[in-house]
Structure 1
Amino acid sequence: MASETPGAQILVASNRGPVSYSLEEDGSLRAKRGGGGLVSGLSAIGPDADALWVCAALNDGDREAARRHPAQLPESDTGEQRVRMLDIAPQTFTDAYNGIANSVLWFVHHLLYQTPLEPAFDADFRAQWASYEAYNAAFADALARDAAQGAAVLVQDYHLTLVPGMLRERRPDLRIGHFSHTPWAPADYFGLLPDDVAVSVLRGVLGGDRAGFLTERWAAAFAECCERVLGARVTREGAEIAVTYEGRTTRLGVHGLGADADFLRERSHRQDVDDWLVRLREQVGEGRRTVVRVDRTELSKNIVRGLHAYRRLLTERPEWRGRVVHVAFAYPSRQDLSVYRKYTEEVSRVAEEINAAFGTADWQPVLLRVDDDFARSLAAYRMADVALVNPIRDGMNLVAKEVPVVSDAGCALVLSREAGAFAELGEDALVVNPYDVIATADALHEALTMPADARAERCKRLAAAATALPPSQWFLDQLRALRG
């Protein structure tokens, strides 16, 4: 299925691309560029690298853009990057994205199921799984068509686990890698999946020459799944892991994504952030300490237990009443799924309970905002005395890395041991079991009472560790490893 015209030498495939579109009333399309590690990575290889980004149309505006520009989106919209956006049938996309990727694979890798009641893999699941296969096949077809002979293809995340294997069948000449931005489930939990689905996911990833993970822990979990489910042979030499299955060997790589220090430091001192800093300081009140969290209202982020820990702090340590504010920015995530809507409602309910129980005429204990504003988040980072990052499970968690980089006076970090960032930041963070509300409350007290010089010194070390592998280097290291 190779293209009849010279194809791209480097291809990236991801569900979300670097641009999104909205359809205006006059029929015109308005483009909005995104950011993130992939954008920085592709920028790092330069305009002459012959790179192409393949992504899915996520909404009606995207689909219209894909129809008008089926070969390539206008580079004026994409920051001069070559992007092909795939117009996949809306129902196929919804089933694959919401039905499988976000409601099954995400739940498995983050250990989110209430197993007495779920999952139940029935006929509806099978129909959605067929859509997931079709969605992955659409990417494999596009990549096979657009790749030059021997090109390097970097496939991203749990949305596209089947693509490496499918692409290998179509284009055996390619160098193919897959990168998992989530954790990988331990073998026993991965076994919740129907047997044939578990096999398909693992075989899909093993279609690549390399499989990348954010931490050694997630790579080891994947290798164990391959041993237990497939009977694959796993060999280890030091930190290197190789999985051999059906005559092919896939090497596992660990690439811990860091914060983009230059961007964060520049962006956090623009005027809109300064304006938000003034407003937030007024809302918090003069002389008060701050416990800051910035998260999506994602089930794995553990926002509700964080609020319970803060309530316990105020209950058991009454000296903090009137002296601290929990600044919680929790912007909505996946609100088309009812379980996420209910979780967002629970976050708001618990925050309101705390404010009703402890608030006074001049002190609001929890400053909760359930909407997304990047400038406001950066302002909160800058004013944080304590950053609370307590996920149930997280592939990395860049918030834990970003706050120390941006903090004005130096912050303490209360960090879940189940975040991927723990591997790099744990030595200088106050580490907690994310399920232990009492221990988390104690860690908040310890963080709030930490001497300013000790807090500032820890924050410097956290920032250095957080920026050791910037997004551009993270991407280039994977590309070099794949080509090597």
Structure 2
Amino acid sequence: MASTHGAHGILVASNRGPITYQTQDDGSLHAKRGGGGLVSGLSAIGPDADALWVCAALGDGDREAVRRGVGEDGVRMLDIDAEVHADAYNGIANSVLWFVHHMLYQTPLEPVFDAEFRRQWDAYRAYNRAFAEALAEEAAEGASVLVQDYHLCLVPGLLRALRPDLRIGHFSHTPWAPVDYFRMLPDDIRAELLDGMLGADRLAFLTWRWATAFLDCAAEIAPERYRVTPASEASRSVEHLDGAAPARTLVGVHGLGADAEFLRARSHEADVEERIVALREEIGEGRRTIVRVDRTELSKNIVRGMLAYRQLLDDRPEWRERVVHVAFAYPSRQDLAIYRDYTAEVQRVADEINSSYGTPGWTPVVLHVKDDFARSLAAYRLADVALVNPIRDGMNLVAKEVPVVSDEGCVLVLSREAGAYEELGEDAVSVNPYDIVGTARALHEALAMQPGERAERTKRLAAAATALPPAQWFLDQLHALEA
């Protein structure tokens, strides 16, 4: 146990922090601030809370900032060995845990848990240990620690061993795998993951579907160690039968919502208005729009979305020249070959649709691959239909953001496998993400919907989407942990 305690009463731990550094040509460091729920939440607790954000140095600029002692109050950046970070982040978090929880493996060929996997798992363990040790060093007696996501599943257990006085929470931003899929992991690895997570006093998920999947894994994979019981109307608990501390772990749900105030203000700034003019020119006068905005992440299902659009043009020729699929597919994880291949396939299918159906005055698919937030907001405002069809998604904030900023009302075509479906499904047109013909039918239904019904649905979607804005989402977790 640490012999001395730090000064911070509230700590957040995540792979990516609120700030990144870039080295300029003259050798100076340029700091760029990020946004999102955690940033909003930490600012909401005020400067007197002695809060600290512990994160990893992700690039050369970050590492240089740590070496020079450059930093910002309230942030501690960990300069973990670059190879250890790469093995933990790309080798395990993004290539194993992400694939397990999103059920992405082509199981005849993968996964392969060989000696290389074991070497990378050692790096994941070392990466988590670095976070646990930093948190143990910085936390005041009895402090509250909120650990974020699948990159840091082992931290709660490791931190519990170092500092049993702390209140430890973990939030999962992804789905959790069903028992049969989770069982693919080697026995000792899945046990280590469960023990790591259940070192927390409280675990939280985006929906009860994902929380229940975790509880099922604990109960069915280690029944001699864990028993699931109701704790209250709002939470359940996992009892530790082996006498480990804590005696039980509470499990709850916080469905992160859209930040309506920020989105509505930002979507009417001058750069967004400029992008609207440019997009209208690309789309053409009087045409309807089917909009999607995603990273080229395998689980987002962009290719099947385009195939469904092609099916719509085949089945319903009356929509030809009257509709455009505006698809923003921003590159993600391009250091992994499978992601590069997927990005190339998105481009190939878009090109094929345009060459098969396009006319001199009509480009059926307008595809942009360069990340541009202002252009995304412009597309949200113009969308007649928003297509959100992931194979599996922890929440999907795009589904919540589009109705909030839509100018004329927008029909949401939503996969039932998105976490957002739990809150928005009633007012969306739902789809099975694997069913191309069914998705094409849903797109036709959405395009043909009467303006009055579309406006009413949009109003209800926006209300549901903003029920738990980011700052409140964070504060609710903190208060539940402290209670």
The answer to whether the 8 A contact 2:5-2:136 is kept is no
Deviations 1:126-148 (Å, cap 9, x if unpaired)? 00000000000000000000000
The residue matched to 1:118 in structure 2 has which SS?
Answer: coil
The answer to whether the 8 A contact 2:290-2:387 is kept is yes
* CA apart distance, 1:324: 0.3
Work out the CA distance in 2 between the residues paired with 1:391 and 1:357: 26
Work out the CA distance in 2 between the residues paired with 1:73 and 1:11: 17
* CA apart distance, 1:4: 4.1
Task: Report 1:342-357 matches (<5 A).
Answer: 342-357=341-356
The answer to whether the 8 A contact 1:101-1:159 is kept is yes
Task: Report 1:361-376 matches (<5 A).
Answer: 361-376=360-375
Deviations 1:361-400 (Å, cap 9, x if unpaired)? 0100000011100000000000000000000000000000
Deviations 1:231-266 (Å, cap 9, x if unpaired)? 110012545210112332000010000000000000
Alignment match, 1:157: 149
Work out the CA distance in 2 between the residues paired with 1:171 and 1:239: 28
1:465 aligns with 2:449: no
1:139 aligns with 2:131: yes
Alignment match, 2:71: 73
Alignment match, 2:46: 46
What letter corresponds to residue 120 of structure 1 in structure 2? V
The residue matched to 2:460 in structure 1 has which SS?
Answer: helix
The answer to whether the 8 A contact 1:2-1:146 is kept is no
Alignment match, 2:204: 212
Work out the CA distance in 2 between the residues paired with 1:422 and 1:344: 26
* CA apart distance, 1:228: 1.3
Task: Report 1:10-21 matches (<5 A).
Answer: 10-21=10-21
Q: Deviating runs (4+, > 6 A) in structure 1? A: none
1:304 aligns with 2:303: yes
Deviations 1:100-120 (Å, cap 9, x if unpaired)? 000000000000000000001
Work out the CA distance in 2 between the residues paired with 1:183 and 1:418: 10
Work out the CA distance in 2 between the residues paired with 1:309 and 1:338: 26
Alignment match, 1:323: 322
Work out the CA distance in 2 between the residues paired with 1:52 and 1:6: 11
- List gaps (5 residues or longer) in structure 1: 76-81
Alignment match, 2:443: 444
Alignment match, 2:284: 285
1:411 aligns with 2:410: yes
* CA apart distance, 1:21: 1.0
- List gaps (5 residues or longer) in structure 2: none
Work out the CA distance in 2 between the residues paired with 1:88 and 1:25: 25
What letter corresponds to residue 20 of structure 2 in structure 1? S
Work out the CA distance in 1 between the residues paired with 2:67 and 2:382: 45
Work out the CA distance in 2 between the residues paired with 1:73 and 1:202: 34
1:276 aligns with 2:275: yes
Size of the alignment, in residue pairs? 476
The answer to whether the 8 A contact 2:296-2:331 is kept is yes
The answer to whether the 8 A contact 1:3-1:147 is kept is no
Work out the CA distance in 2 between the residues paired with 1:330 and 1:297: 5
Counterpart pick for 1:240 among 235, 247, 262: 235
Alignment match, 1:30: 30
What letter corresponds to residue 210 of structure 2 in structure 1? W
The residue matched to 1:290 in structure 2 has which SS?
Answer: strand
* CA apart distance, 1:74: 2.6
The residue matched to 1:48 in structure 2 has which SS?
Answer: helix
The residue matched to 2:386 in structure 1 has which SS?
Answer: strand
What letter corresponds to residue 145 of structure 2 in structure 1? V
The residue matched to 1:54 in structure 2 has which SS?
Answer: strand
Deviations 1:148-171 (Å, cap 9, x if unpaired)? 000000000000000000000000
The answer to whether the 8 A contact 2:6-2:137 is kept is no
Alignment match, 2:114: 122
* CA apart distance, 1:25: 2.1
The answer to whether the 8 A contact 1:3-1:148 is kept is no
The residue matched to 2:47 in structure 1 has which SS?
Answer: coil
How many percent of aligned residue pairs carry the same amino acid?
Answer: 72
* CA apart distance, 1:46: 0.9
1:266 aligns with 2:265: yes
What letter corresponds to residue 150 of structure 1 in structure 2? G
Work out the CA distance in 1 between the residues paired with 2:423 and 2:47: 32
The answer to whether the 8 A contact 1:274-1:379 is kept is yes
Work out the CA distance in 1 between the residues paired with 2:426 and 2:67: 51
Alignment match, 2:63: 63
What letter corresponds to residue 114 of structure 1 in structure 2? Q
Q: What root-mean-square deviation, in Å, do the aligned CA atoms of Structure 1 and Structure 2 show?
A: 1.0
